[in-house]
Structure formats: structure tokens, C-alpha cells
């Protein structure tokens, strides 16, 4: 049971720890897709046309993986920015945007 918002008393609060994990996952997926898409469809040929097509796919996977890591880091930073200082469980109110911690 989440605590009510300290500012507006709303019960519509989300756990920032959960949001952080979701942010990392979403960022990683977005980064992976973006990296893979860019290297498969982007301008400039990384691999000569005489090479096996698998080379291009491998390059896309590599780019996607590094993009996923960067995306996860970005998602992590975005949510960390919302974290209030202090101890306890971090919560974010969806009613007024107030972030607070609950020691309960």
C-alpha cells in the first residue's frame, strides 16, 4: 500500500525504484532497436557488398548492444534525477509530481 502524497494527499503515487528499473529496461530496448536499425539502414556501408550478409547483421547486433547499454544508462540517469535525497522508499506523486521518501 503506497503512502499518500505529502503535498497533495493523493494516493496516486508510484515507486521510483520500480520506475528506475522500468526506465532502464525501456532505455535499453529503445537503444538496442535504434542502434540495430541505424546500422542496418543508416547511410554509409560498413561492410563491402562482397562480404557475407551475416557480417552486416553481426555489425547491427554489435551496434544494438552498445546502444542498449547507452540507453539503459540514459534511462537510469533520467530516473535518478527524480530521486529525492535521503533514506527510505522513494515515491513519485502522479497528481502533483512531488517526489518524496517514506521511511515507514
Dist CA 64 CA 53 (whole Å): 17
The interface region with Zn ion, picked from 30-38, 51-59, 68-76, 90-98 by CB under 5 A, is 90-98
Q: Which of the ranges 49-57, 67-75, 77-85, 96-104 carries the binding residues for Zn ion, by CB under 5 A?
A: 96-104
The C-alpha cell at 83 is: 530521486
Task: List, in sequence order, the alpha helices (H) in 1-104.
Answer: 16-41, 53-82
By CB under 5 A, is residue 95 in contact with Zn ion?
yes
Place of cell 494527499: 9
Q: How near is the Cβ of 22 to Zn ion at its closest, in Å?
A: 20
Question: Which positions touch Zn ion (CB under 5 A)?
Answer: 5, 7-8, 10, 93, 95-96, 98
Amino acid at each position: 500500500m503506497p503512502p499518500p502524497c505529502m503535498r497533495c494527499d493523493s494516493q496516486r503515487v508510484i515507486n521510483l525504484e520500480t520506475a528506475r528499473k522500468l526506465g532502464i529496461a525501456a532505455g535499453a530496448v529503445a537503444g538496442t532497436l535504434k542502434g540495430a536499425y541505424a546500422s542496418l539502414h543508416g547511410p554509409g556501408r560498413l561492410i563491402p557488398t562482397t562480404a557475407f550478409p551475416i557480417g552486416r547483421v553481426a555489425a547491427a547486433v554489435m551496434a544494438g548492444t552498445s546502444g542498449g547499454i547507452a540507453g539503459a544508462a540514459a534511462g537510469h540517469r533520467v530516473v535518478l534525477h527524480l530521486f529525492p535525497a535521503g533514506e527510505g522508499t522513494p515515491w513519485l506523486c502522479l497528481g502533483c509530481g512531488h517526489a518524496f521518501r517514506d521511511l515507514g
